[in-house]
Structure 1
Amino acid sequence: MRSLIWATLYSLLLSNMVWAHSTSKDAFHIGILLYDGAQTIDYAGPYEVFGQANYRLTTVSEDGGTIASAMGLKVAPDTSFDQDNQFDAVIIPGGNINEAMESPELLQWIKEQSKQAQYVLSVCNGAFILARTGLLDGKKATTIRGAFDSFEKNFPDIGLVKNKKFVDNGKFITTAGLSSGIDGALYLVSKVDTIEKAKSVAATIEYQWVPEGGYIRGMMADKIMPNLGDLPESIQFVSKEYSYGSLEEWYTAFQLSGDVEIVKAWLSEQMKENPDWKKGQGKSIDNKWVYQFSDNRSVLQVDFIALSDINPWVLKFSILDQAS
C-alpha cells in the first residue's frame, strides 16, 4: 500500500514537469544564438528556464552547422541565419567571443532580429557582442566581473553596472557571468508572464532565485581587490588559491613568489590611493593588516601567510561585514 501511494505521488510530480518546450506557433518564441566557443551554461541555463516556462525555443547558428561549445560540447542548431525566422526574444551567450564579435553576418543578424523582437538578452561577456552592434549605446549594461575594465575601455558610451546580476533597459537586458544567465532568463519570464510564474519555474529547476539580489562580487569582493596584474616585476604571481563568499563576507587568496617586504610596500601604496579604506589603529601587526571601510560596516583583513624562506607564500584578503 505504501509503495502504491509513493508511486501515485511520483506520477503526479512527473505530470507537472515540462519535458519539452512548446512547439505551438502561438507560444512565445525565443531564438538562442549559438557559435563556436559559446559557453555551455550561458545558453543551456536559459534554455532550461524557457523550456520549463513552456516557451517555443529555436537554436540558431550562422550556417546551421554543428558548433563546438567552449568546453568541447558539440551542439546541432535547429536553423541558420538564412532561414526566415522572427523571434519574440533573442539570447546571446558569452564564451570565446572573439570570432563572433568580428562576424559581420552575426552582428547584422542581431540587428535585424532586434527590430521586431520584444527582448534581446545577453549573458556574461555576450554583452560585448551585443555592444559591438551599437544597440547598447547610451544604455546601461553589465557583464562578467573579469571583463569590467575591458568593457568600460571598449564601450565608453555604455554605463557599466557592477553590482547587479542583470540590467534591464526595456528591450535590452544584460546579465553578469555564467549562472547569472539563469537569473536573467527567470527575470525575462517575469516580464513576459508574471513574477509568480518565474518563481514557479525557479522552484521547478530547484534554483534559489532572489530577483532583487545583487551581484555578490560587485557588491562585496570588488570593493577592494588589488589588481595583481600590476605586481612589482620582482614578484611572481603563482596561482589563485580560492575566491568565494556572500554579501556578508568574502575570501580570496593568492600564491605569490618573491620578497614579501616588496609586496607589503606595493600593497600599502595601493591602499593609500583608495580613499574608502583607512588603516585600523592599533589592530595591525606585521603579517596581519586590518583596514576599515568608509561605510563603517566593512573590514578588510590582509594576511601574509607562511612567511619564511619558503616560496611560494600566500596573500589572503578577507572582507567582513561587521554589521551583519
Structure 2
Amino acid sequence: MTSPDATLAAVLETGRSLQIGILLFPEVEVLDFAGPFEVFSVATRLARRRRPQAAPVFEVATVAAGTGPVVARHGLQVLPRYGFENAPRFDLLIVPGGVVTQPLNDSTTLQWVGTAAAAATVTASVCTGAFILARLGLLDGRTVTTHWEDVDDLRAGFPALNVIDSVPFVDEGALLTSAGISAGIVMSLHLVGRILGEDLARATARQMQYDWAPAPA
C-alpha cells in the first residue's frame, strides 16, 4: 500500500499544488485554524524562494457551510473561501476545535467532513476537532489526543479510542490529532517536515519565530 507521504509527493511531482482545506464553523477557536493556515502559507512562501518557477507547494483555503461570515470565538468574523457546495477535493483536511456544539449537531457539516476526509490523503484535527472526527467513527481503534481539559470527555464519549495526553500531537500516518490550540502549529510544522523535509519545516518555524524542534523518531 502506498504511504500518504508518497501519495502527496507524487502529486507535487506532477507540478500540482497540494490542496489544504481548513474547516470553519461558529465558535471555532481562532488559533486552531489560523495557526495551521500560517504554517502552510509560510512554508509555501519559503519553498517558492528556493524554486521560484515551481507552482506553490500548498494552496491553503478555509471552508464552511456557506460563504458568508463565520463568527469564531471571541467574536472574530472570518470569511471562508469556499462553501461546502463549491469546495474542491482537498489533499489535506484540517478540522479545528473550539466550541464544537454546532458542528457535532449539524448533519450537513458532519456529512461534508466525512466525505472530505474520505477523499483526502491526510486528515488532521486540532484540539476538540477530535470530537468531530470521533463522532464520524474516523478515530475508532486509534491512539489520539485532544486539549488536556477535554481528554476525560473524549475517553468517556468514545471508548473505542485510546486517548492519551501530555503529547502535542499523535501521528498515525493518514490521520493526526493534536492537543489544544497552539499544538496545531506544532502538528502543522511536523506535517511540513513529513511532506517537504525537516529543513524547510525548521526554516518555516524560524521565519515564524516559533520555538520548534522535530519530534524524536
1:204 to 203, 207, 212: 207
- The letter of the residue matching 1:124 is C
| CA distance in 1 between partners of 2:180 and 2:38 (Å) | 17
| CA distance in 1 between partners of 2:59 and 2:134 (Å) | 26
- 1:145-186 CA distance string (max 9 Å, x none): 000110100010010111210001111100000100000110
Matches within 5 A, 1:11-22: none
Q: Structure 1 regions of 5+ residues with no counterpart?
A: 1-24, 214-324
> CA-atom RMSD, angstroms?
1.2
Partner of 1:85: 88
Does residue 39 (structure 1) correspond to residue 29 (structure 2)? The answer is yes
Question: Which of these two proteins has the greater Rg computed from alpha carbons?
Answer: 1
Alpha-carbon shift at residue 191 of structure 1 (Å) = 1.5
Partner of 1:147: 150
- Structure with bigger helix share is 2
The answer to whether the 8 A contact 2:198-2:214 is kept is no
- Structure number with greater CO (CA < 8 Å, separation at least 6) is 2
- The letter of the residue matching 1:56 is E
Does residue 160 (structure 1) correspond to residue 150 (structure 2)? The answer is no
Alpha-carbon shift at residue 84 of structure 1 (Å) = 4.6
Does residue 173 (structure 1) correspond to residue 176 (structure 2)? The answer is yes
Percent identical among aligned pairs is: 37
- The letter of the residue matching 1:193 is L
Partner of 2:77: 74
| CA distance in 1 between partners of 2:152 and 2:87 (Å) | 38
Runs of 4+ in 1 over 4 A off after TM superposition: none
1:98 to 97, 101, 105: 101
- Structure with bigger strand share is 1
Matches within 5 A, 1:261-272: none
| CA distance in 2 between partners of 1:84 and 1:32 (Å) | 11
| CA distance in 2 between partners of 1:114 and 1:97 (Å) | 18
Q: Structure 2 regions of 5+ residues with no counterpart?
A: 1-14, 45-57
| CA distance in 1 between partners of 2:42 and 2:155 (Å) | 35
